[in-house]
Structure 1
């Protein structure tokens, strides 16, 4: 039985470069949606639309009475469709490639379902009046989307054969530990935000937005401790990769991670001592997504994946189609 995607594949067979660009576009949009979500919070527009999935009980779109906050929140919701379009392009490009990349289409569909689930979580944040725990889950799910989008982009540059490690197993484990610690760093960062200065909506004329009841300074100190641990692990990887002459890509990526992580740490320091101004917090959220993506790229540079051998019957069929 023919599907719409298989019919499209008969007429459109994108190049490898097109597949990679499409996957990269999906990755960029996954980072953009983190930044725009932060803009909603930092402009106190989290309840700009008072309900979900509509913007109000009677209107799908914001009304003039809702002002700029309604426009900002609704715009962020509409950007979800742009994100879905980027994911759809990447998934279809992988499906229509001359040799169907099933591993990539699965990652594309995983991104789609992550977006759908996060849209529901976003709706719950509105319906619960910006409950900080739900907001934290919303951010974690967005970082999960960045993870899958980055994996699809990196896999688009590899074959579908079995992965082969390029360094010893202890170094692979150390890089995985580094990723886990940075993941924990991001997770604790969402808790800091939930107890911090920007609840996401103004309390003027209404009930104040609930905050996580944990001492803010203690949370910040825990977050800072994880920053120092992360930097230490990355520095250790820089020297370890240089000592064993790890692949050039791995050495370059871990150096890039160190630069991004140090810049993010400096942003966090300035943010704390300037009482968390909105612009600094927004840059810090963008930095969190970039640090997470940079960390995920390091273990992926420690392996190689060749193309799977083409079965004889499939190769014959391909030549027949080309001849026709």
Structure 2
């Protein structure tokens, strides 16, 4: 399988778009624009785009929705280029058929239910149809295209994830920015950043069986560190969900004590730093293949800790909170790349 320049370019664009949409999503929340468009998939009951009465908040919210569309288009292009590289036209055409068919049936379903005055039901049906089309298309593709299923699986996950993210974002709006749904929306966006990073790594990797390239204890410690990283992010999401930046002035928070959660969030954070120090020092002393990305991870982590401490002391200024959100995604992506460096292709 030959990786085309177009696939490489769009793979990187997909990663950058997933990072950027975390920033734009943060801007929606931090500027109080979460209900700038209070309907979904429309902006208002009568309009797809924001009206003049909605002001700057409507533009910010609609801008983030537009970015979601761009992310989805890029994810689709990555999938099509990957299918073309793995199976040629025979792999691409079925995917296009599933995509077009899913969009047509979903749009028709929404229009029918809307005409019957059941717009909310139509929205659900439309979302389910689109997701089913992606899932069926993915299964068919992976069965009929045996080449580089690792890349194809990652590409399908990103496309399905983007579509699911749109549904979660719409649910957040329709539930009045429920903090738990908003938190899940961010966590799943971060997960997609990690998947796109994994795609870039696998795209340049030699296919075939792999073997451990580090001491076994180092591999185990790395996976333990990944668990601590996940816990740190989870408590960070809960802390933000209990803080002042709800996305709208009238939205109720989750009822937790923000100050207490901020301290709880710091405990796994500092544990993560200590574990990362062990990993990076060992990588340098033993010249392990994880060295570059272990160094990158701890570099981003240090900046993230500094930003976190400053924002906590300065009463959570919106700009720093937004930077902290993006840095969390970048640190997780760097750690994913480091995990992939634990193994190497088996030599003949």
Interval containing the TM-score (normalised by the shorter chain): 0.7 to 0.9
Equivalent of 2:170, from 123, 130, 147? 123
- Offset, 1:85: 1.9
RMSD, aligned α-carbons = 1.8
- State yes or no: 1:272 paired with 2:312: yes
Task: Tell me: CA distance 1:306–1:25, structure 2 relative to 1, closer, same or farther (3 Å).
Answer: farther
Q: Please give the per-residue CA displacement for 1:105-128, whole angstroms capped at 9, x wherever unaligned.
A: 221111011111111111111111
- State yes or no: 1:66 paired with 2:54: yes
Q: Please give the per-residue CA displacement for 1:181-232, whole angstroms capped at 9, x wherever unaligned.
A: 1111111111011000101012xxxxx2110111111100011111110000
* Separation in structure 2 between the aligned mates of residue 153 and residue 306 of structure 1, nearest angstrom: 20
How many residue pairs get aligned? The number is 289
Structure 1 equivalent of residue 179 of structure 2: 132
Structure 1 equivalent of residue 39 of structure 2: 51
Structure 2 equivalent of residue 4 of structure 1: none
* Separation in structure 1 between the aligned mates of residue 36 and residue 173 of structure 2, nearest angstrom: 9
Instruction: For residue 164 of structure 1, give the secondary structure of its aligned residue in structure 2.
Output: strand
* Separation in structure 2 between the aligned mates of residue 147 and residue 164 of structure 1, nearest angstrom: 22
* Separation in structure 2 between the aligned mates of residue 239 and residue 126 of structure 1, nearest angstrom: 45
* Separation in structure 1 between the aligned mates of residue 230 and residue 302 of structure 2, nearest angstrom: 16
- Offset, 1:38: 0.3
Greater helix proportion: 2
Q: Write out aligned runs for 1:1-324 (5 A).
A: 15-97=3-85, 100-202=147-249, 208-247=250-289, 250-305=290-345
Q: Please give the per-residue CA displacement for 1:132-185, whole angstroms capped at 9, x wherever unaligned.
A: 011111111111211211111111011221222111222111111111211111
* Separation in structure 2 between the aligned mates of residue 155 and residue 218 of structure 1, nearest angstrom: 40
* Separation in structure 1 between the aligned mates of residue 264 and residue 251 of structure 2, nearest angstrom: 24
Structure 2 unaligned segments of length 5 or more: list them.
Answer: 88-146
- Offset, 1:81: 1.4
Structure 1 equivalent of residue 96 of structure 2: none
- Offset, 1:16: 4.4
- Offset, 1:22: 2.2
Structure 1 equivalent of residue 139 of structure 2: none
- Offset, 1:19: 2.7
- Offset, 1:246: 1.2
* Separation in structure 2 between the aligned mates of residue 281 and residue 300 of structure 1, nearest angstrom: 29
Task: Tell me: CA distance 1:105–1:228, structure 2 relative to 1, closer, same or farther (3 Å).
Answer: same
Given that 1:150 and 1:293 are in contact with CA atoms closer than 8 Å, whether structure 2 keeps it comes out as yes
Task: Tell me: CA distance 1:145–1:17, structure 2 relative to 1, closer, same or farther (3 Å).
Answer: same
Given that 2:228 and 2:272 are in contact with CA atoms closer than 8 Å, whether structure 1 keeps it comes out as yes
- Offset, 1:21: 2.7
* Separation in structure 1 between the aligned mates of residue 273 and residue 76 of structure 2, nearest angstrom: 36
